[in-house]
A = this chain, B = another copy of it.
């Protein structure tokens, strides 16, 4: 299900469903959205929804996964600032769809999506750490929680600072934990941009 398809109708149906789901989540919150409401907004039949997705959860997951893939591919891994740029790109993405993420992660949000997001972020960072740590896998999970909680705070407070700044702050906090756990030196951009005001 949901394999890449060349058929224009399939791509159009999925696009309309994605847009309708985002709009409805922003309006009502995720758990008040029904499949029928999505398909009605999208001008698509309920049958077509189930032909493409198992349920509304899978649709959200796919939207998020595609966004993560886009963010992931947004920056190459080579240059020294690549990690900073990646986090900025990620927070820019959250900024762009902030109403969606606020609805998914905030007070009206569903716990499973925050867990899904932590899981995705943990998978994103895990390859960068050696598996021979004292407690393998702990660091990526805790790091992901730091970023997700930063996002929740940022969204709940109506994004009081630019995406780039919250990205840097979060990365600095995470960097301290990484240095503690691995002995690695602090991030380059932390050295260039010390803890004071920007």
A-to-B contact residues, CB < 8 Å:
8, 11-12, 15-16, 43-45
What's the dominant secondary structure at chain A's contact region? Answer: helix
Within 8 Å by CB of A45, from B8, B15, B43, lies B8
Within 8 Å by CB of A11, from B15, B16, B43, lies B43
Q: How many monomers of this protein are in the complex?
A: 2
A38 CB to nearest chain B CB (Å): 14
Please indicate the chain B residues that have their CB under 8 angstroms from the CB of A15 in the complex: 43
Please indicate the chain B residues that have their CB under 8 angstroms from the CB of A44 in the complex: 8, 12
Q: A8-B45, A12-B16, A12-B44 are known contacts; what are 5 more A-B pairs with Cβ within 8 Å?
A: A8-B43, A8-B44, A11-B43, A12-B43, A15-B43
Please indicate the chain B residues that have their CB under 8 angstroms from the CB of A16 in the complex: 12
Nearest B-chain residue to A43, judged by Cβ: B12
Nearest B-chain residue to A42, judged by Cβ: B12
Alpha-carbon distance between A49 and B44 when the two chains are bound, in angstroms: 19
